[in-house]
Amino acid sequence: MQIGILYSRIRKDEKLLLSELRDRDHEIAKIDVRKERFGLEETTADVEDLDLVVDRCLSTSRSLYATQFLDSYGVPVVNSPETGDVCADKAKNSLALAEADIPTPATEVAFTKESAMEAIESFGYPCVLKPVVGSWGRLMAKIDSRNAAEAILEHKETLGHYEHKVFYIQEFVDKPGRDIRVLAVDGEPVAAMTRSSDHWLTNAAKGGETATFDLDDRALDLVERASEAVGGGLLGVDLMEVGGEGSGEYTVHEVNHTVEFKALDAASDVDVPATVVDWLEAKAAAAADGGAADDDGAGDDGAADDGEEVTA
């Protein structure tokens, strides 16, 4: 099949994917979004014959726009722009999880430092202030006192981009020194790991130590539902254990849509890129079937074969 990879930086994750795709003789079109233009009807990127495009943009803004344009041309793209839209914004992410009755940390959004201060005081100390768009634990603040809250809010209001004036305030979850990252494809877990640290931020990007984690039935159910809540796709679902390690109770704090998996691949016995490519092949085949059905409806039988596997 012909697979497009939207990117602006090839990380280890993209190298793992590219290597697996090449091993299976798929034809790959690397699309550097920095070099392309996206018009209302067409793009300079050569996407017409692609069976599937995989969004691996490092930049959230580029990811959201590029996938939306490709989707408008009828190019199958994962993850979908709808999923990206929900996952890229922590407030939308929290709303989607809550609307699906998935346990998620109590959260409030406020638009001025005065109302943000009221939210912080109502949560009590410590609580957490996060940017609505951001990753890798950057610019996250655990607020331990009113003095700290006042300083952080003033800095954000004075120095920040307008998005920093959307104050996203969350209860502090006293997790057992670790959280859980699950890589899932349309709600089906590929692999899971814990990320442990003495620091309150346990992200692998912050140096958290990783170890494999066996999902119990409760976690499996939450991963499936969290994926569905954001529209499905190749996702990183983040959970925290509440009530201590091994309690079997979880809260889902985030779902990531351009998920990194190199740390998980290293920590897990599962061949993560192979499993992801299995899923991509199934998505491409499904998109081709859908396209063929549409083409059949238009009376163009010859187009039905266009989505079949084309090997390099």
Partner 1 sequence: MTNDTDPVLAEDPITGEEIELPADVEVGEIIDSPVTGTELEVISLDPVVLEEAPELEEDWGE
Residues that bind partner 1 (CB under 8 A): 7-11, 14-15, 18-19, 22, 30, 32, 58-61, 131, 133-136, 138-139, 161, 236, 256-260
State in angstroms the smallest separation of the CB of 236 from partner 1.
Answer: 6
- Residue 304 beta carbon to partner 1: minimum distance, rounded to whole angstroms: 32
Instruction: Collect all residues with Cβ–Cβ distance below 8 Å to 273 and sequence separation of at least 6.
Output: 16, 17, 19, 20, 261, 265
Instruction: Report in angstroms how near the CB of residue 18 gets to partner 1 at its nearest.
Output: 7
Separation of alpha carbons 197 and 6, rounded Å = 33
Instruction: Judge whether 132 and 90 are in contact, CB under 8 Å.
Output: yes
Task: Give the DSSP H/E element, type plus range, for residue 62.
Answer: helix 60-72
C-beta closer to partner 1: residue 5 or 292? 5
φ/ψ (deg, to 5) at 103: -60, 125
Q: Shortest distance, CB of residue 268 to partner 1, whole angstroms?
A: 17
| CB closer to partner 1 out of 144 and 163 | 163
Amino acid at 222: L
Question: How far apart are CB 167 and partner 1 at their closest, in Å?
Answer: 16
Give the nearest distance from C-beta 189 to partner 1 in angstroms: 17
* Residues forming a β-bridge with 36: none
In terms of CB distance, is 110 or 183 closer to partner 1?
183
| Residue 234 vs 288, nearer CB to partner 1 | 234
Cβ proximity to partner 1: between 138 and 146 the closer is: 138
Interior CA angle at 137 toward 32 and 170, to 5°?
A: 125
Cβ-based nearer residue to partner 1, 189 or 307 = 189
Distance between CA atoms of 128 and 120, rounded to whole angstroms? 8
By the 8 A CB rule, do 268 and 191 touch?
A: yes
- Single out the residue of 11, 2, 24 nearest to residue 274, CA to CA: 24
CB 85, CB 122: distance < 8 Å: no
